[in-house]
Amino acid sequence: AQSVAQPEDQVNVAEGNPLTVKCTYSVSGNPYLFWYVQYPNRGLQFLLKYITGDNLVKGSYGFEAEFNKSQTSFHLKKPSALVSDSALYFCAVRDILTGGGNKLTFGTGTQLKVEL
Amino acid sequence: NAGVTQTPKFRVLKTGQSMTLLCAQDMNHEYMYWYRQDPGMGLRLIHYSVGEGTTAKGEVPDGYNVSRLKKQNFLLGLESAAPSQTSVYFCASQKEGGQGVEAFFGQGTRLTVV
């Protein structure tokens, strides 16, 4: 089965500084990787995905992620953090279901806190 | 364009009571999913459906049942609620098209079983 790991429960960064939220993956075959963000009392919102092609993927709200096959990582990045980026971030990998279709397998989430 | 809508948003149940959570999507997606979110555990798949009239078990199906009588609706039922089912429940939908397609999530239902 496919899996992802988010080694940090929380990341703190000052506004204006670059941010990185880490994710590593374990898959058999080609990885289909996603980042989602969850604001308080809200559902998950899609940020970006890696399917194939360029290792640097650009997404919503100025976020980007770098796919690194040798390190089996898919870290989320932003050059300049905003206080409004404070939220819970989930890395996920697509996994095939035995009954057909596919599902997202999520990491445990990383709480990002951006301070003034 | 509402996307994925969950009803209700909050609910408190007593142990042993039953309830149904409704998920409705207006994007004509084939696949629908029910996840539960618990602190420190990410989201775990309860049940899913790959089309109208079909359902299947996910990772944590015990204590839940589902139905997909119409393509746009996916119902999650708790026949006899237990405190262990206190959680936030998310519905998601996805169009058919392979593993590279993203899923869209509802806003969640916060359920407390006392």
pLDDT tens column, B74-88: 999 999 999 999 999
Q: Which of A44, A100, A102 sits opposite B99 (nearest CB)?
A: A102
Mean pLDDT for all residues in chain B: 94
Nearest by Cα to B101 from A45, A49, A29: A49
Q: What is the mean pLDDT of residues A101-111?
A: 90
Q: Name A65's Cβ contacts closer than 8 Å, sequence gap at least 6.
A: A33, A35, A48, A50, A56, A57, A59, A74, A75, A76, A77
CB A72 within 8 Å of CB A101: no
State whether residue B48 is helix, strand or coil: strand
Provide the strand spans (E) within chain A.
3-5, 10-14, 19-21, 24-26, 33-38, 44-50, 56-58, 64-68, 73-78, 87-96, 102-106, 110-115
Q: What is the pLDDT of residue B1?
A: 60
Mean pLDDT for all residues in chain A: 93
Contact B102 A109 (CB under 8 A): no
Contact A100 B50 (CB under 8 A): yes
- Mean pLDDT check: name the lowest of A24-28, A92-96, A108-112: A92-96
How would you class B101 by CB atoms within 10 Å of its CB: exposed for 0-12, middle for 13-18, buried for 19 or more? middle
CB B42 within 8 Å of CB A109: yes
Tokens of A63: 């976020």
* % residues pLDDT > 70 (chain A): 99
State whether residue B106 is helix, strand or coil: coil
Contact A43 B107 (CB under 8 A): yes
CB contacts, 8 Å: A9 with chain B? 40
Nearest by Cα to A78 from A13, A10, A23: A13
Residues of chain B with pLDDT under 70: 1, 98-99
Contact A46 B43 (CB under 8 A): no
For residue range A23-74, list pLDDT tens digits in order: 999 998 889 999 999 998 888 999 999 998 889 999 999 999 999 999 999 9
The reply to whether A102 touches chain B by the CB within 8 Å rule is yes
Contact B103 A51 (CB under 8 A): no
Q: What is the mean pLDDT of residues A80-85?
A: 96
Residue A50: its H or E element: strand A44-50
The reply to whether B43 touches chain A by the CB within 8 Å rule is yes
Shortest alpha-carbon distance between residue A18 and chain B (Å): 25
Q: What is the pLDDT of residue A102?
A: 82
